[in-house]
Amino acid sequence: MDFVHIPVMLNECLDGLNLKEDGIYVDATIGGAGHSLEILKRTKSAKLIGIDQDKDAIAVCRDRLKAYKDRVTLVLDNFSNLDKILEKLKIEKIDGILIDLGVSSYQLDNGSRGFSFRFNSPLDMRMNQDQKLDAKFVVNNYGEGELKRIIFDYGEERFAPRVAHKIVESRSKKPIETTFELRDLIMSCVPNVRGRAMDSVQRVFQAIRICVNGELDVIGKTINQAVNHLNKGGRIVVLTFHSLEDRIVKTMFKELSTNCTCPPEFPVCVCGGNNAKLKLINSKPIIASTDELKVNSRSSSAKLRIAEKIK
């Protein structure tokens, strides 16, 4: 299938990067190259490093960005390895980084990848198709307590105990192998008041996907690495798509933009009070415009946070 990709909050992201004609920019989750293509179009000689752990994305971007091949370096890797990636490329400083934390439209719409309950396919959900851990293993091998924790913590699903118990009960008779089997199992054990059982299905699928890909574990590490590599005046732009991601980004930005790091119970500052590395460009997250929501429903949950390196 075609790698369809509608970049979320395109203009807001590029405005947030405050592009320089000859800057060095990182698109940490290049996906279908929607944001990256515009970065290249809007600059004269800027260099772009595009990172993605999905082999399909890298292959598509190689073709879509071929007109700019002299200015583009594509890297098949997880963005949490940013330090090693830049070291290998002999790049010490960058002028901006965009981190889009959402699962791509291609991954959701490609039934064979097992991300979506809209298609009947093998349980997979791996962004990196070379990794061993997949959704089928999580669903069929993790203990009931661990499943409950994953579903509650990562999906914020209040029926997590009931769903976890049902999964364990069902797999004792037969392995749960497809997205439809998991979808139907979830729907069988949660109330379907006003058709809201599908909301529970969505939250459980999200939770398992986050677990499989370790999505929350790498956010803080990546932000710290990105900030250390930014030139003074460089920008970090982060797009999140659910509250768990946004909470981590908000907390990280707050810590990195705070001068005094002393515990609140200290009567006086002893840390020197000059520890801030960032200044916040927007104190509250930017959300998609009404016009964008009309043409791209997947932007409805997106939140954009931007900060600038100050030292």
If you average pLDDT over residues 35-60, what whole number do you get?
A: 96
At residue 102, the pLDDT reads: 74
**Listed residue (71, 20, 60, 59) closest to 42, CA to CA:** 20
Residue with the bigger pLDDT between 146 and 273: it is 146
Residues whose CB is less than 8 angstroms from the CB of residue 151 and which lie 6 or more positions away in sequence, other chains included:
157, 160, 163, 164, 203, 204, 207, 208
- pLDDT tens, residue by residue, 57-86: 999 999 999 999 999 999 999 999 999 999
pLDDT above 50 (res 106): yes
pLDDT category of residue 1 using cuts at 50, 70 and 90: very low
At residue 134, the pLDDT reads: 97
pLDDT above 90 (res 311): no
Instruction: Give yes or no on whether 10-101+216-309 and 116-213 have one common fold.
Output: no
pLDDT above 70 (res 8): yes
- pLDDT tens, residue by residue, 201-222: 999 999 999 999 999 999 999 9
Enumerate the domain spans of the chain: 10-101+216-309, 116-213
- pLDDT tens, residue by residue, 260-295: 888 888 888 888 777 899 999 999 999 999 999 999
Q: Strand pairing partners for 230?
A: 94
Coil, strand or helix at 174: coil
Arithmetic mean of pLDDT over the chain? 93
Q: How far apart are CA 29 and CA 125, in angstroms?
A: 16
- pLDDT tens, residue by residue, 119-131: 999 999 999 989 9
Q: How far apart are CA 304 and CA 8, in angstroms?
A: 10
If you average pLDDT over residues 253-259, what whole number do you get?
A: 94
Question: In the CATH hierarchy, which top-level class contains the domain 116-213?
Answer: mainly alpha
pLDDT above 90 (res 135): yes
Q: What percent of the chain has pLDDT over 90?
A: 81
Question: In the CATH hierarchy, which top-level class contains the domain 10-101+216-309?
Answer: alpha beta
Residue with the bigger pLDDT between 83 and 111: it is 83
pLDDT category of residue 3 using cuts at 50, 70 and 90: low
At residue 124, the pLDDT reads: 95
49 membership: H or E segment, kind and range = strand 47-52
Residue with the bigger pLDDT between 264 and 104: it is 264
